Amino acid sequence: MSLGEIIVALNVRRKTARAEVPPWAMANGARPRLLVIAVALGVVAIFLLSIGVGSVFIPPLMVIKTLLSHLPFVQMQVDAPSTYGTILFDIRLPRVVLVALTGAALATSGTAYQGLFRNPLADPYLIGVAAGAGLGAICAIALRTTSSSSISVFLVPLASFTGALATVALVYQLGRVGGSTPTTTLILAGVAVGSLATALSTFILLRLGQQVVHVMAFLLGGYSAAGWEAVVAVAPFTFIGFVLMYVYSRPLNLLLFDEEQARNLGVNVGRVKLIIIVAATMTTAGAVAFSGLIGFVGLVVPHAARMVIGPDHRRLLPLAALGGAAFLMLADLLARTVIAPEELPLGVVTAFVGAPFFLYLLRRARNAAFF
Amino acid sequence: MLNIEHLSAAYGKRLALHDICMEARAGEVVGVVGSNGAGKSSLLRAISGSLAPTRGRVLLNGIDLSRLSVDVRARQIAVVPQSSHLPGAFTVGEVVLMGRTPYLPFLGSESTRDYEIVLAALTRTATEVLAERRIGELSGGEQQRVLIARALAQITADTGAQPRILLLDEATAHLDIKHQAAIWELVRELARSGLIVIAALHDLNLAAQCADRLALLSGGRLLVCDKPSQVLTPDWLWRAYDVSATVITHPLYGTPLVTLTQKEV
């Protein structure tokens, strides 16, 4: 069978398996698949640029060659300095991958929280989850720096997840009124519990005395220090969380109505809410474990994606993931280059870029529906 | 056949429904009337499963509805809500397609049959011209017709002819008389094709014309459930609404026509 025949056969199979989607079923964002592919290509381009730029500039083509030559089963001679391999693999690649993961995680969990709570302002920071995750991470890092016994890096995202989950459980309980959880009380409880968690974090940092420098350095510059270990520690949280959110993206669409309508349409509301909350919390926890406070990603990226592709979470979540990765990689690129060799904290850059962009979105969206 | 047996329900400690017994047959439209807070919406919510009964049960074709899982129940009962929160960026087509949710397999996508059913529902409610519009751009009346189309798509069975339930909670309250008439004509036609229709209504004269029987509620209790001419009498209206009413017979249809008796000046 020739390649052409295989492609024809595959196409026939796909046509029979999938129904033709009528235009009215996806009029928001006329060509979603094409758009997602275009954004994905953009992400790859930013990624290549991102790992090329630094104290030693490596042109994108050379980056591709060097990366390919390190793949297993690829025999390729590269006429590049051998140091390129080390720079790329040991220093830049883990940092950029972690930044991309963090951006995708913050954007997707923001998307999910906004949909779930039917509130355009909901993001991991507003409902206190990020603060809880931060508290967990700080406890773990503080233990790591102060105690003589070494605690594994892998404990940081775990502690962060525990903190985040505890916060969500507490916020959810406090926000309950009778049998339901209204959005307003949920967010009020989130702001209160989040403030408490932030206060506790500050208290712990202050009690550390001299050691605080190390913890702060880890929190702000965690990316450069952490290496592949951090990537491996964070990736499962982000990945599992994203898959869960994606699997439940259709019921999440129905929750954009109200809970009673969703239930009447056959959605097991309690279960879906719980799964989405746990999934979004996992993703947030993974992101916060090594990044400290990075605002605006979970707010700006979902809204921008919604404007481009519409409110359907089945298309929105993948686009938000790609957009979040691209946005944070670009922000990180700026953070590294603007005052090189010094570095800006990533959160400062995202706020500088994110706040005006968010205001622009708000002006554009003034007359349009958010969801 | 829908049987409501000794149904009581409460919001916390406040009793909303008290010992309600009634039934509805396939092919008929039962109107639920009563003053504000009499329990009209609560009765519909108890039937749809959103309000758990404290006593009694609701049987559809002999099956206790509270024993069914959420998605199985959603294939039997569709609800057109009173006034609802609509995520305005979805298109009309997408919203009506959501009515097919209880039929879709986990992780599966809509089939050609689902699209056909949705298209039929759009056509029947005269909303197919709106299919690509965003729902947030529509008028209140148009939105209501879209929600009825969604309910229609929801209770269109793949196979089997067991009667299903359509619940309407003040479904035409925001519509002008032309669209109101069109919707009720459609609802009656749906009932004739074998549905059980239960509709909460404010407008007594509309209820008299559209419903085959009326259930009159007061303070969470069922006062009477009978033909409109038997329910809309000055005596019952006095008991349910605490008003003096004059009831005349409609010159064309013979249905009761309710007007308030003016106080002596």
Residue A266 contacts B, CB cutoff 8 Å: yes
Q: First vs last Cα of chain A: how many Å apart?
A: 48
The pLDDT tens digits of the residues spanning A31-55 come to: 677 888 889 999 999 999 998 887 7
pLDDT at A129: 87
Tokens of A298: 């979970």
Interface of A with B in 166-205 (CB under 8 A): 178
The model carries a pTM of 0.86
pLDDT at A286: 84
Tell me which residue in A23, A266, A310 faces B101 most closely, judged by beta carbons.
Answer: A266
Tell me which residue in B86, B102, B118 faces A266 most closely, judged by beta carbons.
Answer: B102
Confidence of residue A16 (pLDDT cuts 50, 70, 90): very low
CA distance B240 to chain A (A): 29
Chain A residues with CB-CB distance to B69 below 8 A: 268
pLDDT higher than 80, residue B231: yes
> CA angle, B132 as apex, B128 and B138 as ends, to 5°?
80
Tell me which residue in B11, B70, B85 faces A268 most closely, judged by beta carbons.
Answer: B70
* Residue of chain A whose alpha carbon sits nearest to that of B102: A266
Tell me which residue in A247, A257, A264 faces B86 most closely, judged by beta carbons.
Answer: A257
pLDDT at A75: 63
Q: Choose the weakest-confidence range: A73-82, A311-320, B169-178.
A: A73-82
CB contact under 8 A, B50 and A263: yes
**CB-side neighbour CA atoms (13 Å) of B123:** 6
Mutate to test the interface with B, among A24, A183, A244, A313 (most CBs of B within 10 A): A24
Tell me which residue in A23, A257, A368 faces B87 most closely, judged by beta carbons.
Answer: A257
Residue range B213-227: mean pLDDT, rounded: 94
CB contact under 8 A, A371 and B88: yes
CA distance A21 to chain B (A): 8
Tell me which residue in A19, A28, A267 faces B91 most closely, judged by beta carbons.
Answer: A28
pLDDT at A73: 67
The interface pTM score, or ipTM, of the predicted complex is 0.90
With CA atoms as reference, report the closest residue to B200 among B217, B182, B183: B217
CB contact under 8 A, B48 and A306: no
Tell me which residue in B74, B111, B114 faces A265 most closely, judged by beta carbons.
Answer: B74
Q: Check if the beta carbon of residue B56 is closer than 8 Å to that of residue B7.
A: yes
Residue range A73-100: mean pLDDT, rounded: 78
The pLDDT tens digits of the residues spanning B93-135 come to: 999 999 999 998 887 788 888 899 999 999 988 889 999 899 9
Mutate to test the interface with A, among B92, B101, B115, B143 (most CBs of A within 10 A): B101
Residue range B126-147: mean pLDDT, rounded: 89
Chain A residues with CB-CB distance to B115 below 8 A: 19-22, 25
Q: How far apart are CA A367 and CA A359, in angstroms?
A: 14
Measured CA to CA in angstroms, residue A90 lies from A73, A240, A332 at distances of: 21, 26, 17
pLDDT at A13: 45
Q: Please provide residue B22's backbone torsions phi and psi, each rounded to the nearest 5 degrees.
A: -160, 170
Residue range B232-254: mean pLDDT, rounded: 89
Q: Count CB neighbours of A57 within 10 A.
A: 8
CB contact under 8 A, B81 and A306: no
Tell me which residue in A24, A267, A306 faces B70 most closely, judged by beta carbons.
Answer: A267
CA distance A88 to chain B (A): 39
The pLDDT tens digits of the residues spanning A209-218 come to: 777 776 776 5
Mutate to test the interface with A, among B45, B69, B86 (most CBs of A within 10 A): B86
Query: What percent of chain A is modeled with pLDDT above 90?
Result: 25
Q: Who has greater pLDDT, A361 or B150?
A: B150
CB contact under 8 A, A369 and B136: yes
Residue range A98-121: mean pLDDT, rounded: 89
CATH of B2-228, one of 3.40.190.10, 1.20.1560.10, 3.40.50.300, 3.40.630.30: 3.40.50.300
What sign does the dihedral A348-A354-A357-A358 (CA atoms) show?
negative
Mutate to test the interface with A, among B54, B73, B98 (most CBs of A within 10 A): B98
* Residue of chain A whose alpha carbon sits nearest to that of B78: A264
> CA angle, B48 as apex, A183 and B99 as ends, to 5°?
75
CA distance B40 to chain A (A): 16
Chain B residues with CB-CB distance to A371 below 8 A: 87-90
Query: What percent of chain B is modeled with pLDDT above 70?
Result: 96
Q: How far apart are CA B5 and CA A300, in angstroms?
A: 53
Interface of A with B in 215-254 (CB under 8 A): 247, 250-251, 253-254
pLDDT at A15: 45
Q: First vs last Cα of chain B: how many Å apart?
A: 50
Q: Check if the beta carbon of residue B92 is closer than 8 Å to that of residue B132.
A: yes
Q: How far apart are CA A88 and CA A66, in angstroms?
A: 8
Distinct helix (H) and strand (E) counts, chain A: 16, 0
Residue range A113-135: mean pLDDT, rounded: 83
pLDDT higher than 70, residue A134: yes
Q: Quick one: angle between helices A93-117 and A212-226, nearest 10? A: 100
Q: What is the DSSP letter of A127?
A: T
Residue A90 contacts B, CB cutoff 8 Å: no
Q: Choose the weakest-confidence range: A145-149, A271-275, B87-91, B239-243.
A: A145-149
CB contact under 8 A, A371 and B107: no
Q: How far apart are CA B90 and CA B96, in angstroms?
A: 10
* Residue of chain B whose alpha carbon sits nearest to that of A119: B87
Name the β-bridge partners of A333.
Answer: none
* Residue of chain B whose alpha carbon sits nearest to that of A309: B89
Residue range A70-91: mean pLDDT, rounded: 72
Q: Check if the beta carbon of residue A242 is closer than 8 Å to that of residue A101.
A: no
Q: Who has greater pLDDT, A157 or A149?
A: A157
Tell me which residue in A24, A256, A264 faces B93 most closely, judged by beta carbons.
Answer: A24
Tokens of A49: 């640029």
Tell me which residue in A178, A265, A269 faces B154 most closely, judged by beta carbons.
Answer: A265
CB contact under 8 A, A25 and B73: no
CB contact under 8 A, B79 and A261: yes
Q: Quick one: angle between helices A183-207 and A93-117, nearest 10? A: 150
User: A210-227 in b/e burial notation, b at 16+ Cβ within 10 A?
Assistant: eeeeebeebbbebbeebb
pLDDT higher than 80, residue B210: yes
CB contact under 8 A, A369 and B88: yes
